[in-house]
Chain A
Amino acid sequence: MNIFDMTIHELHGALKARTLSSVEATTALLTRITAVEPQIGSFITVTAEVALAAAAAADRRIAAGECDLLTGIPLAIKDIFLTEGIRTTCGSRILDSFIPPYSATSWEKLRERGAVLLGKLNQDEFAMGSSNESSAFGPTRNPWDVTRIPGGSSGGSAAAVAARQAIATLGTDTGGSIRQPASHCGCVGLKPTYGRVSRYGVIAYASSLDQVGPLTRDVTDCAAMMGAVAGYDAKDSTSVDTPVPDYCATLKDGVRGLKIGLPKEYFIAGLDAEVQKTMDEAIETYRRLGAEFVDVSLPHTEYAVATYYLIAAAEASSNLARYDGVRFGHRAAAADGLLDMYTKSRSEGFGSEVKRRIMIGTYALSSGYYDAYYVKAQKVRTLIMNDFISAFADVDLMLTPVAATPAFKIGEKADDPLLMYLSDLFTIPVNLAGTCALSLPAGFSATGLPIGMQLIGKPFGEATILRAGYAFEQATEWHQRKAEI
């Protein structure tokens, strides 16, 4: 078995048994990155030296008898996470030389446990996109078909797992940015409940929607990564102080007796036939495993995309105001006065999708429009939350597609923002409701493209969806397929 094909638990076994060192594993992954990166483009920055030093330190810890599940495991993280002393760009030219003086809490937690950082992963600029085409550092390609997009905005995080450039990765999910690329790249991705993982040190796109989560090869790894990053952080006022369960401990509890909801608004006419077929087969598998299915309704689903693009853009327009060229980041070379410096720096630094959302958000918050757009969107958000509360009164979790189609071609939707926005139809409501959802491989198209399914959990119900995902994974072989690259 190739080292780079291993899961966290497999590699941990080898490290603990001392049949392999972290330096060997890290070297194998760095070699793999070098080999496939020209075709994929998952990374913005590869941190080979930092990685090898951390691996050597991990080997010393292991030799001293300290072998935590994550000690010595080579990981990579989306370039949205601040890493002290390591360039962090958020996929934007405006931060192309930004070296942060502190690290994100979520990465810090992994690092303290001995994880090794291979590098910073490509993404849509400021996490705004569903295809990774809006990165200022070039697009990422789907390892299953390099003419296609990997999904976004955590496209690099999903592609790096699928191309075996990292054992596991971290991404962020504001409207589907972990789940949709996980689905398109055939890996497991978890969007935790809002407040479950600290946002401190994660570059904000839409603060009320952003959440940090893992992308992995299987559900077991996902549970392990989730356990490592979850928990209250006094530095994030929106993080929730509730105990973190042992996600790994309940993985094998099965699905017998679980009630799974099928929201009718997610099984619509426009759904790709192969996606529909994949969902049908997944439902059958769960029935065999002893789960019960219930039809439910989330009646305000059709307003979710519009609501999302008002709230997310409004928050983004404010969150991105700090990129003004004054204290850090890109500053235009020649400017005539303050206003000109602002205008030029931001015009040069931001890409077109980011500018579009800043414009939409600024408009939605403007005096005279605020009530009609922002306030109304917040009201609809409440209705969508209530939809989920009602549905969860009857079921333990819900099963839906992640995306209406498998990965599309690079450039296919690039010039049609509305069409692009609709690719997040099934993932956005979960962010608006603030609850959790897992994306995991459920099948393949005839042309060999991965198709994922989404298991939506109750707030703080990560353990239940991970356990349901694990049961499915044990009963199928989809997660074992590897992209030929």
Chain B
Amino acid sequence: MKYQPVIGLEVHVQLLTDTKIFCGCSTTFGAEPNSQTCPVCLGLPGALPVLNKKVVEFAIKAGLATNCSITPRSIFARKNYFYPDLPKGYQISQFEEPICQHGWLDIQLEGEALKRIGITRIHMEEDAGKLVHGELSGGNDGSGVDLNRACTPLLEVVSEPDLRSSDEAVTYLKQLHQIVTWLGICDGNMEEGSFRCDANVSVMPVGAEKYGTRAEIKNVNSFKFVKQAIEYEIQRQIDLIEDGGTVVQETRLYDPNSGKTRSMRSKEEAHDYRYFPDPDLVPLVIGPEWVERSRRELPELPEQRQQRFIVELGLPPYDAEVLTASRGLADYFEAGVAAHGNAKAVGNWIMGEITRGLNDNGLVIEACPVTPVQLAELLKLIDLGTISGKIAKTVFDEMWRSGKSPELIVAEQGLVQVSDTGAIEAIIDEIMAANAGQVAEYRGGKEKVFGFFVGQVMKASKGKANPAVVNDLLLSKLRG
């Protein structure tokens, strides 16, 4: 390829605080328009912002988890522009001296070496409200402003232009998504906009040092769209240059229906935001004690936990990665291991039956109807030989459906495994008598028919016969 793409991402992370960043209003999603507002988030004259400390704590956590340094004295700034969803005519954000700076994330693509992606900064800011077009609550047609979302806390995570392909961009984005959801500071819902991304894309000739002119792509709200949008934009820029044109600095909007990007505003039309320190807020001073306290309170992060699963629990790397996909999954796994002991067995069941159940029902692990302790109880029944692995799957389905304990289900449905040699011998004798032809075949050297006998015995015992016992007895009887 003649061209080298250069990509940087700006990610907006909506924080899971109960109240807004500069007032006490609730951040709950989906309430009646303008019902969750007060003088501060309505931008009424005379109203003043007061910083929500929880937002600062979340920002510090995000910074520490992405290897940032925490700015000892960070400043809030006003970003000035007019829009009806922006009640004060400015957004309170951070410009110079954001709360977190100079971090990184290491990403790994399959078959490639570990790559470090720089994080320029993470800053805190308030969200805007939203415009509603069409029929409004009063019954009239028109455009309305709903300010419930105004003043909702956001973090903006800005990467260095270190990403070189759409795959790298998506990998970085997924890792960031995993971290913020893992920390419990964001619900990660991309469709509802809790985690949204703008991509800065440029291309330059391979081997060049100076980056090409970049376009900023807005409105890419799924991992799939990020990949599509970046790939489309890279190709658009290459085609443009190949045709003798030049890329202009502009903001472009991604249209998920067409898979294309289109120009939104040029550099000339770009806002002059006239950033300046917000005189209504004092500088935010974060001492080393605060940072250390946050560091101590930080949960074990996905990478660390993955390593521990491999080293301490002896999981294969693949299993460890799958089981740390989310903090909830890893917690579930560890609770299961704590109750049962066999990490590999617990892991297999989670990656198998549990994952299938969750996917089929569109559930997250936190909503799994089978608890880790119940799963452990089920595995214990297998260990004890009370039920076979096959019956266990039937029991599991019933546990999922009814929430009953495995012991109860086994007892109620009479699923206890039959290991009594007498009972099994009786069944075998009956089947051998009824299938004299196959017995002769086996004895004549056609050992494949052994499977036929196992199947028949299991069928006759309604699956309850202990397969190991069946094997032993059948072998000795057939060999006569």
Contact = CB atoms under 8 A, between A and B. Distances in A.
Contact of B44 (A234, A320, A328): A328
A455 to B, nearest CB: 27
Nearest to B38: A102
Interface string B364-394: 0000000000000000000000000000000
B80 interface: yes
Contacts of A203: 45-46
Contact of A370 (B49, B51, B276): B276
Contact of B45 (A90, A207, A236, A326): A90
Contacts of A367: 272, 274
A204 B48 CA distance: 9
A309 interface: no
Contacts of B282: 237-238
The range of chain A's interface size is 35 or more
A424 interface: no
A328 B80 CA distance: 19
A342 B272 CA distance: 17
Interface in A235-282: 235-238
B80 A95 contact: no
Contacts of A370: 274-276
A327 B43 contact: yes
A224 B252 CA distance: 61
B50 interface: yes
Nearest to B81: A321
Nearest to A311: B279
Interface in A191-240: 199-204, 206-208, 234-238
B121 interface: no
Given A208-B279, A235-B50, A237-B282, A102 B39 contact: yes
Given A200-B46, A327-B42, A328-B44, A365 B276 contact: yes
A351 interface: no
Contacts of A314: 276
Chain B interface secondary structure, helix, strand, loop or mixed?
A: loop
A104 interface: yes
A173 interface: no
Contact of A327 (B47, B78, B90, B145): B145
Contacts of A288: none
B45 A95 contact: yes
Given A234-B50, A321-B90, A365 B274 contact: yes
Contacts of A88: 45
A362 B279 CA distance: 16
A101 B44 contact: yes
B196 interface: no
Contact of B80 (A204, A207, A321, A326): A321
Contact of A326 (B39, B84, B275): B84
A464 B47 CA distance: 32
A338 B84 contact: yes
A365 B84 CA distance: 22
Contacts of B47: 200-201
A318 interface: yes
Contacts of A318: 78, 80, 89-90, 274, 276
B188 interface: no
Contact of A322 (B50, B88, B281): B88
A101 B40 CA distance: 12
Contacts, number: 98
Nearest to B274: A365
Tell me which of B84, B145, B281 has the highest count of chain A C-beta atoms within 10 A of its own C-beta: B84
Contacts of B42: 327
Contact of B279 (A90, A207, A235, A365): A207
A327 B48 CA distance: 17
A382 to B, nearest CB: 13
Tell me which of A88, A98, A321, A327 has the highest count of chain B C-beta atoms within 10 A of its own C-beta: A321
Interface in A92-109: 95, 98, 100-102, 104
B40 to A, nearest CB: 8
B9 to A, nearest CB: 24
Contacts of B90: 318, 321
Interface string B37-72: 001001111111111000000000000000000000
Interface string A150-174: 0000000000000000000000000
B46 A326 contact: no
Given A321-B89, A324-B89, A237 B46 contact: no
Given A101-B39, A321-B82, A237 B274 contact: no
A90 B346 CA distance: 69
A366 B272 contact: yes
Interface of B: 39, 42-51, 78, 80, 82, 84, 87-90, 145, 272, 274-276, 279-282
Given A322-B44, A338-B84, 20 more contacts: A88-B45, A98-B45, A100-B45, A101-B44, A199-B46, A199-B48, A200-B46, A203-B45, A235-B48, A237-B51, A238-B281, A318-B78, A318-B276, A320-B89, A322-B87, A322-B88, A326-B145, A327-B42, A328-B44, A366-B272
* 4 closest residue pairs by CB, A with B: A321-B89, A208-B279, A365-B274, A207-B279
22 contacts: A88-B45, A98-B45, A100-B45, A102-B39, A104-B46, A200-B48, A204-B280, A234-B50, A315-B279, A317-B80, A317-B274, A318-B80, A318-B276, A321-B80, A321-B88, A322-B45, A322-B87, A322-B89, A327-B43, A342-B82, A365-B276, A374-B276
